[in-house]
Every structure is written in structure tokens, then in C-alpha cells.
């Protein structure tokens, strides 16, 4: 079981981890404005992929015995993607410059084609998960981690050498490599599940089953609302501060999101093993114990990530991104709160009460958008503070019973995160080498605790 847990965790974490490890080199080749454009296109890519899959990747996991639903989802995705492409081409014909300082050209087109392939891969990956082919998933993730990230870096370096540091060809190359990398993944997935073209033709115009469609629609609403909670800040940062500041801001969020991806991978691996199959036992002791353990793991993960970046970030990242390093304490605190919401989402899904998550997301979105439009922001730190305060308010309002149920774990977590924030703040203000060394050693200690607790969690 721990082998499968490692494989599933690696599938989600390794591409993000490798991209962050290579990020300092990449940022030396890309100016903040171009990195901001890549960030916005990646944000749009995720949003478009949600509309293309419509939550079907989660339904495929639920309706594992019905083989034809995969092919009906696949053909539906192709129809929608063709329609969306036509709409984009019409809009791009009349408006070359799009909102958020984006331009409709080759980078956007490559991003879109890559998005279609990524969306198809999500469906095939869900099928692989339902078949419990963890080894195939591991291999595909290993390929993605090394191929896409490494080749992207290589081709960006070649482009800079030939065309200069500020060339938009860099953005084109970035998404072109992503496109081919995901195309290879599609071919591997199709072979692994023995994808049948005859069933594609058979289900070309077929409708999805009602139960399947109902579950997909609920999943889609949750995914979209989660997206706007976690991604709308990027668009508002561009509107308020411009592309350069967005480039700096997005580096901070990219690093801190490693923690969220890691906790998400643990939850996915733990879900099938620990969560009860029936919904009647809502306060099952085992569920409570495991949820509490994951809350503690989350706090140790965020504290370790915060302190390692604070202590060594200045030696790794270019000086133009120094502000990104200085904001990591706020970013990791925000991501810790987001992991709490994610943990609660899983348990609410277990008892078929996802509506509460949807209304939580809706409340957060409305309040944040209102403040973005009413308040005059002076620096990027205030964007993080806004998100921290609003999410904290609504966690208390919507999940106060659950918070009380895990008051011990939350107390430990808040003390741990608060102590880490204080250490990071004192070091950044004083530059003390003793605090720097202490931060680094503490980060290693916290990371070892994460590993020990993770192994123990999966071995019970």
C-alpha cells in the first residue's frame, strides 16, 4: 500500500517539484513580464481544462465498471474543444490584444492545443486510477517531470541565445514543448488502457448517463469555485500592479503551492484506504484520527517549506525576485489554510455534503472580489493578507464544529506556523547568520517529521 501511495503522490508532486527546482535557472533566462504572461496562460489553461472535462475525470473514478463513459466523455471533450477553438479564432480575428495584457497569437494557440491534450489525459489518468495501475501512472509522471521541464528549460535557453532575453518567442517555445510532452503522455496512456478507436466512433454522438452527468456537474461546480478561490488573485494582481509585479508574485505562489500539491497527493492516497464506505458513520474514530494526522503533517510541511526558502532562497533565486522570497511566510500561511479547506472537502464528500464547500467558496469569492474593487492596494503583501483573513473568517463560519473537533491539532499547527513566521521575520529583518542557520536546521527537522508521520500514516 505504501508503494502505491508513493507512486500516486509522486504523480502529483514530481512535476511541480522538478519545475520549482529548475525555476531559479529559468528565471535567470526570463524577465518578470514574460514569466507573468506564462503564469496567466497557465491560469487560463487550468480554467479551460475544467470546462473541457466538465468534472468527468471524477465521475470516471466513481463509475469504474461502465467502460463506455470514458469514450462518451472523450467525444464530448472533442466536440466542446472544437467549438471553443472556433470562438477563440473569431475573437482573436477582431481583438489581437486580450484582457490582462495577453495577445492572441502562437503562444495562446499552442497553449490551447496543449490544454485539449492535457484534458484528454485527465480522463485517461482517471481510468488508470480506477484500474489501480499505479506503476504506469508513476512512469508517466517521471517522464513528464524530466522531459517537459528539462526540455522547456533547454529550448528557452536556446531561444534566449538566438533571440534575446525579452523575446516573446520564449513563451511560444514554453507551450510548444508542453504540447509535445503531453502528446507523448497521451500515446502512453492510450496504450496502457488499450484505448479503442472503434468505441470512440460508436459513442461519437452518444449522451452521458444521467447519474454520471449529475455527479460530473457537482464536481464541476466545486472545481470551478475552487479555481476562483485559488487563482483569481493572479488576475487581480495584473490589473492592480501590472505584469512585472505579477511575475514576482507568481514565483512566491508557485513555490508555496508545492505544499498544497503534496497534501493533496496524501489525501488521494489515503481516501480509499481510510474513509468508510458508508455515510452513516460520520464521526468514525479512524477518520478523525487520520484527518488530525494530516492537519499536523500539513503544518509541518508548510513550516519546513517556509524556513528552507527563507534560509537559502537568496542564494538560489535571482536578485530581481528577492521580493518573492520575502513574501514566502505569508504565502505558506495562506496555503496551510487552503490545505485545511481541502481536507474538510474530502470528509464532506464522504458524507455527500459538498454543497457546504460550494457555498464556502462562493462566499470567499464574493468577499474577495468586493475588496479587490473597493480597497486601494499598495503592495503585494496586502494581497496575501486579504486572502488569509477572508479564508480564516469563512473557515470559522462554515466549519466551526469541525475546527472544535480538531482543536488540539489546530492549536499545535497554529503555534508551529506562528513560530516559523516569527523566525522567518526576525531573520529577514536582521540578517543574522545564527537565525539563518537555525531556520535551515529547523526546516530539515520539520521535513523529517513530515516523512516519519507520512510513513506512519500509511502503515497503520
Specify if 221 maps to a domain: no
d(CA 171, CA 174): 5
Query: Which helix or strand (DSSP H or E) is residue 58 part of?
Result: helix 56-62
Q: Is residue 35 part of a domain?
A: yes
In a domain, 218, yes or no: no
Look at residue 104 and tell me if it is in a domain.
yes
CA-based nearest residue to 31, from 342, 251, 336, 311: 251
* Residue span of the structural domain in which 365 resides: 230-460
* Same domain flag for 186 and 63: yes
In the chain, how many domains are there? 2
Same domain, 137 and 40: yes
Nearest to 460 by CA among 343, 296, 287, 298: 287
Cell 475588496: give the residue.
371
Phi and psi torsions of 91, nearest 5°: -65, -45
Please give the pLDDT value at position 419: 93
Q: Domain check: are 193 and 338 in the same one?
A: no
* 178 plus 254 within the same structural domain: no
- Give the 3-state secondary structure of residue 196: coil
Cα distance between residue 35 and residue 90, in whole Å: 27
Q: Are residues 27 and 83 in the same domain?
A: yes
- In angstroms, the CA 143 to CA 135 distance is 12
Residues 203 and 330 in one domain: no
pLDDT at 5: 56
Last residue of a domain, one of 208, 238, 261: 208
Same structural domain, 407 and 286: yes
Q: According to the model, what pLDDT value does residue 415 have?
A: 93
Same domain, 179 and 313: no
Q: Is 28 a domain residue?
A: yes
User: Which alpha helices (DSSP H) does 63-168 contain, by range?
Assistant: 68-94, 106-130, 134-163
- In this structure, are 160 and 309 located in the same domain? no
Could you identify the residue written with the cell 474513509? 275
Tell whether 216 is covered by a domain. Answer: no
- Domain boundary residue, one of 176, 208, 240: 208
Q: Are residues 166 and 244 in the same domain?
A: no
Q: Is residue 219 part of a domain?
A: no
DSSP assignment of 169-192, as one string? HHHHHHHHHHHHHHHHHHHHHHHH
**Long-range contacts formed by 149-156: CB under 8 A, 24+ apart:** 149/15, 149/18, 149/19, 149/22, 150/18, 150/22, 151/177, 151/181, 152/26, 152/177, 152/178, 153/22, 153/25, 153/26, 153/29, 156/26, 156/29, 156/30
Do 202 and 60 share a structural domain? yes
DSSP 105: S
Q: What is the pLDDT along the chain (460 residues), one digit of tens a residue?
A: 445 556 556 666 777 878 888 888 888 888 888 888 899 999 999 999 999 988 888 777 766 656 778 888 888 889 999 999 999 888 888 777 777 667 778 888 999 999 999 999 988 888 887 777 767 777 777 777 778 888 888 988 998 888 877 778 888 999 999 999 999 988 888 888 887 877 778 777 777 778 778 878 888 888 888 888 888 899 899 889 988 899 999 999 999 998 888 888 777 666 555 444 444 444 455 667 778 888 999 999 999 999 999 999 888 888 888 888 999 999 999 999 999 988 887 766 655 567 788 888 899 999 999 999 999 999 999 999 999 999 999 999 988 888 888 889 899 999 999 999 999 999 988 888 898 899 999 999 999 998 888 877 766 6
- 344 and 196 part of one domain: no
Query: What is the pTM for the complete model shown?
Result: 0.85
Burial call 121-143: b when 16+ CB within 10 Å, e when fewer = bbbbbbbbbbeebbebbbebbbe
Say how far apart CA 295 and CA 407 lie, in whole Å. 11
Reading the block at residue 290, the C-alpha cell is 487520520
- The alpha-carbon radius of gyration of the chain (Å, integer) is 22
Residue 316 in domain = yes
Amino acid at each position: 500500500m505504501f508503494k502505491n501511495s508513493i507512486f500516486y503522490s509522486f504523480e502529483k508532486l514530481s512535476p511541480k517539484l522538478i519545475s520549482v527546482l529548475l525555476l531559479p535557472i529559468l528565471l535567470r533566462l526570463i524577465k518578470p513580464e514574460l514569466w507573468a504572461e506564462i503564469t496567466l496562460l497557465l491560469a487560463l489553461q487550468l480554467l479551460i481544462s475544467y470546462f473541457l472535462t466538465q468534472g468527468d475525470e471524477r465521475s470516471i473514478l466513481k463509475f469504474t465498471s461502465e467502460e463506455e463513459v470514458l469514450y462518451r466523455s472523450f467525444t464530448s471533450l472533442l466536440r466542446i474543444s472544437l467549438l471553443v477553438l472556433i470562438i477563440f479564432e473569431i475573437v482573436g480575428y477582431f481583438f489581437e490584444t486580450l484582457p490582462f495584457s495577453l495577445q492572441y497569437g502562437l503562444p495562446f494557440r499552442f497553449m490551447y492545443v496543449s490544454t485539449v491534450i492535457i484534458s484528454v489525459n485527465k480522463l485517461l489518468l482517471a481510468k488508470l486510477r480506477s484500474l489501480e495501475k499505479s506503476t504506469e501512472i508513476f512512469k508517466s509522471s517521471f517522464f513528464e517531470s524530466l522531459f517537459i521541464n528539462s526540455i522547456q528549460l533547454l529550448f528557452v535557453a536556446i531561444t534566449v541565445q538566438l533571440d534575446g532575453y525579452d523575446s516573446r518567442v520564449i513563451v511560444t517555445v514554453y507551450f510548444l514543448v508542453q504540447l509535445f510532452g503531453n502528446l507523448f503522455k497521451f500515446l502512453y496512456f492510450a496504450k496502457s488502457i488499450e484505448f479503442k478507436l472503434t468505441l470512440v466512433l460508436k459513442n461519437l454522438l452518444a449522451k452521458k448517463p444521467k447519474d454520471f452527468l449529475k455527479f460530473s456537474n457537482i464536481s464541476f461546480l466545486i472545481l470551478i469555485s475552487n479555481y476562483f478561490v485559488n487563482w483569481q488573485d493572479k488576475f487581480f494582481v495584473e490589473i492592480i500592479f501590472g505584469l512585472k509585479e505579477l511575475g514576482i508574485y507568481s514565483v512566491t505562489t508557485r513555490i508555496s503551492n508545492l505544499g498544497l500539491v503534496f497534501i493533496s497527493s496524501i489525501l488521494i492516497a489515503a481516501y480509499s484506504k481510510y474513509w468508510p464506505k458508508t455515510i452513516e458513520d460520520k464521526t468514525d474514530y479512524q477518520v478523525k484520527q487520520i484527518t488530525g494526522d494530516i492537519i499536523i503533517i500539513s503544518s509541518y510541511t508548510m513550516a519546513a517549506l517556509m524556513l528552507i526558502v527563507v534560509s537559502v532562497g537568496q542564494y538560489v533565486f535571482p536578485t530581481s525576485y528577492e521580493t518573492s522570497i520575502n513574501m514566502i511566510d505569508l504565502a505558506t500561511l495562506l496555503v496551510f489554510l487552503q490545505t485545511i479547506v481541502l481536507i474538510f472537502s474530502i470528509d464532506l464528500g464522504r458524507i455527500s455534503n459538498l454543497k457546504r464547500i460550494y457555498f464556502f467558496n462562493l462566499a470567499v469569492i464574493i468577499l474577495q472580489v468586493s475588496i479587490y474593487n473597493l480597497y486601494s492596494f499598495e503592495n503585494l503583501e496586502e494581497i496575501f493578507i486579504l486572502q488569509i483573513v477572508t479564508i480564516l473568517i469563512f473557515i470559522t463560519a462554515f466549519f466551526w464544529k469541525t475546527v472544535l473537533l480538531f482543536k488540539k491539532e489546530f492549536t499545535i499547527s497554529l503555534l508551529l506556523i506562528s513560530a516559523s513566521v516569527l523566525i522567518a521575520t526576525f531573520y529577514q529583518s536582521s540578517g543574522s547568520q545564527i537565525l539563518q542557520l537555525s531556520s535551515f536546521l529547523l526546516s530539515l527537522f520539520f521535513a523529517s517529521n513530515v516523512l516519519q508521520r507520512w510513513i506512519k500514516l500509511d502503515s497503520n
